[in-house]
A = this chain, B = another copy of it.
Amino acid sequence: MANTNPARGMRDFLPADIRKRNYVIGIIKQVYESYGFEPLETPSVENLETLTGKYGEEGNQLIFKILKRGEKLDINDKELADTALRYDLTVPFSRVVANYKNDLPKYFKRYQIQPVWRADRPAKGRYREFYQCDVDAIGSTSMIVEAELISAVCEVLKRLGFDDFVVRINNRELLREMLNASGIAENLQTDALVAIDKLDKVGAEGVLKEFNERGIATESGNRIMDLFATLERSANPETLAELEKFIGNKTESLQKLTQILSLANNPNIKIDASLARGLSYYTGAIMEINVSDLVGSLAGGGRYDGLIGMFGKDQIPACGFSIGLERIIVVMTERGMFPPELQTNSADVFITIWNNESIAESLKLAHELRQNGLRVTVYPEVDKLAKQFKYASAINVPYVCVVGENELAEDKVTVKNLANGEQETVERRKIAEYLANKISS
């Protein structure tokens, strides 16, 4: 027999799953639009060259490539694929900005909610296809952009019912300055960031071990890890003061961080000097949102002033934030945060079929009720009435209509409320109004 499971790392979504997903996506869209972001979508498939070299050492290896077709195939690996599946939404968006520059406003703000694919080893809660919900603003280097992005994403989380999240913030430039002050040579700093990015997973010991493997002097490594340890529990003003002392200067990146804190004016924001973010395209502020009961982040983002310039001749500054749909749903499900009124049935009204001759009447009734805004399902067969009622109850439809011989003769419809068993016979011409009132009440 055929294997009917979804492919490795992939998932099927049954109606109850989709209703949850659509609920969350609906709120995300609504909030993003209230901030003036406009919808945009890019194709699932990109030219391979668009994606390679944008995501750092790990990312390049996790891109799903698409096999070239028949006649073009060559044994040489390089020639086997020239397209690949979207790995994130930021790189395709940057390509789009470079391509349609003249059609877009200078300070274009877009949101994009689409799946991405990564050839990660599947694990609990980690899939090879997952949705990202991105907001990005291009054209300005002002910290108003960072403040508005943080505000938009926090508003999404609040409307979904989260009140305990932490927005960790840092700056890539500032990290470089910390690494310089620690005495880590410039040519080792990208390696150092890759190691620091794993701090949450492997702990300080693990990072120091990787520093060592990557040839970073123990003394320098200890210096920066000691700084992180010192700052771990300190409040933002204290952290800013300590960082200024450590670097020896109130640098532009420190000033920017200070300005974001002031403009965003949000008690959930905490400077985390060790936050590195894996993707290689970030150039300034970096952000990540966490809750205590989830390993990994609910959202992440940052400034990438150099990425669009990799596609077009103009260097256009940009900053973005991305919400991970699946992680939001995992936490909301575990915490029971979905509203109890989230629709759980397929229809408001169930119409039975009395006999072969009455089918047309049942379908006509269904049509009329639908025109009146009701969701109506029709039993698809001529069958025992008891069986039809049992089925209506099993699929959780609240009202069942019978158009039988008596009803047809008297121009009436019998309606049963399955919740309380009450049954009424209603005039045919009043049935739509009767049911619409029942359903809306």
Interface residues of A (CB under 8 A from B): 1-8, 10-15, 17-19, 22, 33-47, 49-50, 61, 64-67, 69-70, 73, 75, 77, 80-81, 83, 85, 95-96, 98-100, 103-107, 109-110, 115, 117, 119, 128-129, 137, 139-140, 142, 144-145, 147-148, 151, 155, 262-263, 265, 310-313, 346-347, 353, 359-360, 363-364, 366-367, 370, 373-382, 391, 394-395
Residue of B nearest to A18 (CB): B39
Smallest Cβ distance from A426 to chain B, in angstroms?
20
> Residues of B contacting A103 with CB < 8 Å?
14
> Residues of B contacting A38 with CB < 8 Å?
15, 18, 346
From A34, A73, A311, residue with most partner B Cβ within 10 Å: A34
> What CA separation (Å) do A139 and B99 show in the bound complex?
49
State whether B147 touches A363 (Cβ < 8 A): yes
State whether A379 touches B64 (Cβ < 8 A): no
Smallest Cβ distance from A47 to chain B, in angstroms?
5
> What CA separation (Å) do A425 and B4 show in the bound complex?
65
Work out how many copies of this chain go into the complex. 2
Known A-B contacts: A7-B83, A36-B375, A44-B117. Give 7 more (CB < 8 A): A12-B99, A15-B39, A44-B115, A64-B66, A64-B67, A144-B359, A148-B380
Given contacts A22-B39, A110-B15, A391-B106, contact A66 B69 (CB under 8 A): no
State whether B67 touches A67 (Cβ < 8 A): yes
State whether A353 touches B129 (Cβ < 8 A): no
Majority secondary structure, A binding face: mixed
From A38, A61, A64, A106, residue with most partner B Cβ within 10 Å: A38
Smallest Cβ distance from A371 to chain B, in angstroms?
9
State whether A44 touches B44 (Cβ < 8 A): yes
State whether A263 touches B360 (Cβ < 8 A): yes
> Residues of B contacting A262 with CB < 8 Å?
360
> What CA separation (Å) do A370 and B8 show in the bound complex?
42
Smallest Cβ distance from A376 to chain B, in angstroms?
6
State whether A363 touches B36 (Cβ < 8 A): no
Checking B41, B46, B367, B394 against A151 with a beta-carbon cut-off of 8 angstroms, the contacting residue is B367
State whether A80 touches B83 (Cβ < 8 A): no
State whether A346 touches B66 (Cβ < 8 A): no
Question: Can you show 13 pairs from A to B with CB atoms below 8 A apart?
Answer: A14-B100, A15-B40, A18-B39, A34-B374, A34-B375, A35-B370, A35-B376, A36-B377, A43-B129, A67-B67, A109-B377, A145-B380, A263-B360
